[in-house]
Structure 1
């Protein structure tokens, strides 16, 4: 237990020798040290997650996460240990304001990667939506770059339209031929039953239309097959272009993309925005807690003993300065007498 106490006293930046002489202050500095230590731990986790998101390497992320956590720990320790209790509230607040500003900035930096982890599922869902949209936009953009497909499809439709016209003409002649054979009276038929001269004439027209349709269908099909092959080739080129873009879309899950997705989510959902704000405020509270403890705590025995120790150093330094100046003046006098200056 003694080692744990000393460890957290070290984290608080307190002087062991002085703190041992002020036992009533032990718990206060134990708590301050604990807050600083766990802030460093959170900073390590936060940085490790952020770096893992960027580099996808757990060992690299852990190594730099520990370095970042130690840096935040040391900075927090310095901020708290550099504050002094002087029984002057306004001067203490003025001294604390830049430290509080720094603590709030650190809290915001530390909290952001952990926010991303807490809302990871929602962010992944939003990223999937954005990826789907990016895929659709990319395909649409590629279509505008391969307009040849539309031109070829128009040519196919034109060829099919010619065949359909020939087929409609053949069907019309077939209908007239049938009406003529069965003696149905119309504007284009005689109304005489049987294969008369009119029926034979219409049969000849029908055979010619059928032959023309067969010949046209054969030639048109060849052209359509050629157009289909060309369309297939262009589609493959378009697919190859999309495959080049696909990795960029699949890799759209980096740190910046996740931060942007979180911003979109918080703008869309009031509940999520409130939850995100509570997390930020929690980290700010944790980061600024040691400073506020220093400010609101009354001046205690530790502060008195620390001032006394610093005053002793100051007095000793002044005495040494006066002594050195005095000795220097004596030596100068001796030199003036000796050399009759």
Structure 2
């Protein structure tokens, strides 16, 4: 138990020789040291999980987690040990600690995210399936849109050529009907005969038939060629669609995106996410907050006396050295 207390004193960055002379301060610095230690431990767990999520390697995850925890532990210990309880009040101490508090906010966001991903892992997994399907359908839509423009242009050309043939056919049918009606007396002059009027109408129908045959002979090869291009284009599109792979979308960036969308869709998860981040901000700021809230005690008085003693001692040494130098140089100057 005693060694554990000394370990927490070390974590707090306190001068243990001075702290042993102040028994009433032992509990305060034990608490400060424990806060620093457990903050670093939590950072190690979170950092290790984040690294494992990215690389799926337990050995490297443990190594990185320990390294990240040591970095946070050393940073908190340095900040806490350099925060002196002066006589200017807590607002001055809070101002001096503001850079560390801003850093704590950023660290809390970084540390909390991996644990949030673990807490909401089931919801995130379901969302990832939907997001993966959305990405897959988006790739299909992109390919379809790219080929649809070319296919529409080819189909429009085919329809134009076919429409020209059908227009010639309709004209031929109309003129042939008029000639037949003139011949059987059901139309035209209403007299059944094959006279000059019929001959004129028959000539118009024959001319229309010739134009139809010419149009078919001219446009049909073009239609077949365009149909071939359209078929080849569809085959190419189908091959490209078949080549799309449904790659698993479950990396850390994908999980963060899924968590963001879930938070927007579900108010309960949104507020839970906010409170988790706030909790980690409080935990990251706790070493600084504990040090600020701790009252000035005998340890701080002894520390100020010792620092003041060393400061005055150094000033005396410097003054003595300056005096000795002037004494040695005075005969030479005279």
Over 3 Å counting, the alpha-carbon distance change for 1:108 and 1:147 in structure 2 is closer
Structure 1 residues 236 and 91: alpha-carbon distance in aligned structure 2, compared to 1, 3 A threshold: closer
Q: Does 1:99 align with 2:93?
A: no
Give the total of aligned pairs.
259
The aligned counterpart of 2:3 is: 3
Q: Deviations over 1:216-268 (max 9, x none)?
A: xxxxxxxxxx9xx989965762354213xxxxx53422222211211111111
Deviation readout 1:134-188 (Å, 9 max, x if unpaired): 122222333345559x89xx9xxxxxxxxxxxxxxxxxxxxxxxxxxxxxxxxxx
Counterpart in 2 of 1:40? Answer: 40
Structure 1 unaligned regions, length at least 5: 155-225, 244-248
TM-fit CA distance, 1:71: 0.7
Alpha-carbon RMSD across the aligned residues, in angstroms, is 2.6
> Counterparts of 1:320 and 1:104 in 2: how far apart (Å)?
44
Q: Is the 8 A contact 2:44 2:68 kept in 1?
A: yes
Partner residue of 1:276? Answer: 273
Q: 2:260 aligns with which of 258, 263, 266?
A: 263
Instruction: Name the CA distance, whole Å, in 1 between partners of 2:252 and 2:325.
Output: 65
Per the alignment, do residues 231 and 107 of structure 1 end up closer, same or farther by CA in structure 2, a change over 3 Å counting? closer
Are the equivalent residues in 1 in contact too, given 2:140–2:241 (CA < 8 A)?
no
Please list, as runs of the form range in 1=range in 2, the aligned pairs for 1:137-156 lying within 5 A after superposition: 137-145=138-146
Q: Tell me: CA distance 1:314–1:267, structure 2 relative to 1, closer, same or farther (3 Å).
A: same
Alignment of 1:1-341 (within 5 A): 1-89=1-89, 90-145=91-146, 234=236, 237-243=239-245, 249-336=246-333, 341=334
Q: TM-score, normalised by structure 2?
A: 0.71
Alpha-carbon separation, structure 2, partners of 1:233 and 1:93:
70
Q: Give yes or no for contact 2:144–2:237 (8 Å, CA) kept in 1.
A: no
Say whether the 8 Å CA contact 2:117–2:124 is kept in structure 1: yes
Please give the TM-score of this superposition, normalised by the length of structure 1: 0.69
Is residue 32–residue 290 contact of structure 1 (8 Å, CA) maintained in 2? yes
For residues 236 and 283 of structure 1, do their structure 2 counterparts lie closer, same or farther at Cα, with a shift above 3 Å needed? Answer: same
CA distance in 2 between partners of 1:251 and 1:35 (Å): 41
